[in-house]
Amino acid sequence: MIRFAAIRLVEIAAMLVLMSFVIYALIGLMPGDPIDLMLSSDPRMTAADAARLKAVYGLDRPLLDRYLAWAGAALSGDLGYSRLFAAPVAAALPPRLGNSLLLMGSSFALAFAAALALGTAAARRPNSRLDRAVNLVCFAGVSVPTFWLALILILVFAAGLGWLPASGVAAAGGGGLGDRLRHLVLPVATLAAASVGGYTRYVRAAMREALAQDHIRTARAKGAGELRVVLHHALRSALIPIVTILALSFGGLVSGALVTETMFAYPGMGKLVFDAVMGNDYNLALAALLLATAVTMTANLMADLAYAWLDPRVSYR
Amino acid sequence: MKGPLLWLATVTLAAIVGPPLAAAFGVDPFAVDLLDRAAGPSAAHPLGTDELGRDLLVRLLEGGRVSLLVGIAAAIAAAAIGAAIGLIAGYLGGWTDRVLMRTTDAVIALPLLPLLVVLAALDLGKLGLPRTLVQSDEISLLRVTALAILVGWTTSARLMRGAALVARNRDFVRAARSLGAGVPHILRRHILPEVMGPLVVATTLGIGDIILLESVLSFLGLGVQPPLASWGSMLSNAQELIAASPQLAIYPGVMIFATVIACNLLGDALLQRFDPRAPVRG
């Protein structure tokens, strides 16, 4: 297993290197050279100025040279300067990362808790009205476009009833904890509602299969209480696929939720990557994207290791 | 199964028949009438007008046509490509299997939306494509379809690999091999019919996924470009008038929701038909 994990880590590192080059090249293919943008917006700049600026920023060197320069600096800890934020990448990234972890973490926890409750309840009474209702809710959940759900929630709760703020992290001038929590409610609700459908389907299927096993019947025959049967016996078997999707969703913690963040003007990682890419900000975009990819791939590795650990029948030798 | 099938058939029929019918009546989905913006339902415009005065019903039908076209085309293409890769990997095994599956896993592990943003915003002119093509109206349709295929092929690849692994040990396959049948023949005539069931299910579910993907991309401004309509871009345009005319946002959203849920219900019903013991897809 150690060997398996070590090989995977090496593969992850190789993928990251490959991806960094691909993304660097792709961003170069985006419309709009930053210096040309400056040229068209500032009438006092001349073509000679543009050429000089390009030489200063190193934008006239071939792609490979620029990439290697970036890679060399990044490996020694210098992530560069973000043109978009007018700050070093190392200063611009962490606050957005924190916001994303808060948003994604809360909605993820909420969705997962709800999925466990709903999925288990539905699995315990297969084909009942509750089961069919939960199934329908799941279908609705995975079919609804997130941005539409956000729009409806904003319409009802912010514009219509005025109970909750429609955007931002806190009131202007910084609010207290209560204010920050109020700003979190709608985005978290949107994200949780969008993801609960998928999770519930998994939990329901896993629990259904677990509850149909023979050892559950034995436990019930031996007189174990329903709570113990479900939580101790059934959940243990169902845990394997559940932990797998749990780990797989960890990747989303860092990549953020672009659409939700855009709808609620929430400054998170999703919007950061979008703005950086659209704004040709190489350093920031690369740093954010590679971080998200590294976390996702590591989370996948964790999922595979957890799977092997939880299920003794599985081995990676 | 009948419910979602009926809905999908109605939407498809309306999307195909509607716009030509409307054109026959003289209603043009691209006709802007700024004096009549965001109007309510009337005799001339059964659902009202949108933010530029275009007839809302015809825009919805046009958008439906675009979304369904992209959805169905991309789903079928992605399923075909993914199935080819998965079947070859599963049947041949060995190094082919390792390489192909590692690639598939790598693509699955990439964070989806950021990469789509990068790919969707590429300036194709810099890649060397001719200017007339790059700036045409239809290019955005092609881009969205290409993107959807790029992210959609992995599901069917994994699925078909698993199915191929099972099918290659069947007796009739062994018999065909011992009679000297070549690999393409076996794949086409013996393995493919066995695996069609799950493939059809995956394709149906894929249509719903791709409609959602296209709507998100169009919403972000990276998908279907104006003047072409798409449910996603209609939603994006409706945002500024949301307080005064919420119906501009509600209609396209309901259409997306209903169509995607119909695809999912249909796919699930097909799944029950083909394999009642199958685990939930994922």
What is the pLDDT at residue B13? 73
pTM for the whole structure: 0.82
pLDDT in tens, A182-197: 888 888 999 999 889 8
Kindly indicate whether the ipTM for this predicted assembly is greater than 0.90, answering yes or no: no
pLDDT tens track, chain B, 282 positions: 677 777 777 777 777 777 676 666 666 667 676 666 666 776 667 777 777 777 788 888 888 888 888 889 999 999 999 999 988 888 888 888 888 888 888 787 777 776 777 777 776 666 666 766 666 667 788 888 888 898 889 888 888 888 888 888 888 888 888 888 888 888 788 778 878 888 888 898 889 889 988 888 888 888 887 778 888 888 888 877 777 777 788 888 888 888 888 888 888 888 777 766 555 443
Q: Nearest Cα to B210, choosing from B261, B138, B152?
A: B152
What is the pLDDT at residue B27? 65
What is the pLDDT at residue B239? 79
CB contact under 8 A, B268 and A139: yes
C-alpha span between A144 and A95 (Å, rounded): 30
Q: Chain B residues contacting A, CB < 8 Å? A: 102, 105-106, 109-111, 113-115, 117-119, 121-123, 125-127, 208, 212, 215-216, 219-220, 232, 235, 239, 242-243, 246, 249-250, 252-253, 256-257, 260-261, 263-265, 268, 279-280, 282
Look at residue A174 and tell me whether its pLDDT is greater than 70.
no
What is the pLDDT at residue B123? 65
CB contact under 8 A, A151 and B119: no
Residues of chain A positioned with their CB less than 8 A from the CB of B113: 255, 258-259, 270
What is the pLDDT at residue B281? 45
What is the pLDDT at residue B73? 92
Q: Nearest Cα to A5, choosing from A301, A309, A317, A311?
A: A301
C-alpha span between B221 and A147 (Å, rounded): 13
Cis ω before B29 (30° cut-off from 0)? no
What is the pLDDT at residue B124? 67
CB contact under 8 A, A19 and B279: no
pLDDT band at A32 (very low <50, low <70, confident <90, very high): low
SS (H, E, C) chain A: CHHHHHHHHHHHHHHHHHHHHHHHHHHHCCCCCHHHHHHHHCCCCCHHHHHHHHHHHCCCCCHHHHHHHHHHHHHCCCCCEECCCCEEHHHHHHHHHHHHHHHHHHHHHHHHHHHHHHHHHHHHCCCCHHHHHHHHHHHHHHHCCHHHHHHHHHHHHHHHCCCCCCCCCCCCCCCCHHHHHHHHHHHHHHHHHHHHHHHHHHHHHHHHHHHCCHHHHHHHHCCCCHHHHHHHHHHHHHHHHHHHHHHHHHHHHHHCCHHHHHHHCCCCHHHHHHHHHHCCCHHHHHHHHHHHHHHHHHHHHHHHHHHHHHCCCCCCC
